[in-house]
Amino acid sequence: MPILVPHARLAALLGETSVRSAAATLGELLAEVERRVGPQDWAWARKATLLVNGRAAHHLGGLRARLEPEDQVWMVLPSAGG
């Protein structure tokens, strides 16, 4: 089953540091997580960069990217500093 590793704020909302899913695509996986946290909390979470096995999801087909059972999806929020 693919596994999602959410960023810290989303992990706190979910109450877990990873989510296993039977989702076949990245879009299905994210929809599943959105249903668990609700639309208001999900609005800011959508700004995260998505990595599938270390590769940017937009290079793999975006939300239509197929997920294999061993895939890891990471959500990384942008940050800046000086």
- Kindly list the structural domains of the chain, giving each domain's residue range(s) and its CATH number in brackets, ordered by start: 3-76 (3.10.20.30)
Total-model pTM: 0.88
Distance CA 13, CA 68 (A): 26
* pLDDT score for 62: 93
Instruction: Please report which confidence band the pLDDT of residue 81 belongs to, taking 50, 70 and 90 as the band edges.
Output: low
Given its phi and psi angles, is residue 61 left (phi above 0), alpha (psi -120 to 50 degrees) or beta? left
Mean pLDDT of 32-53: 89
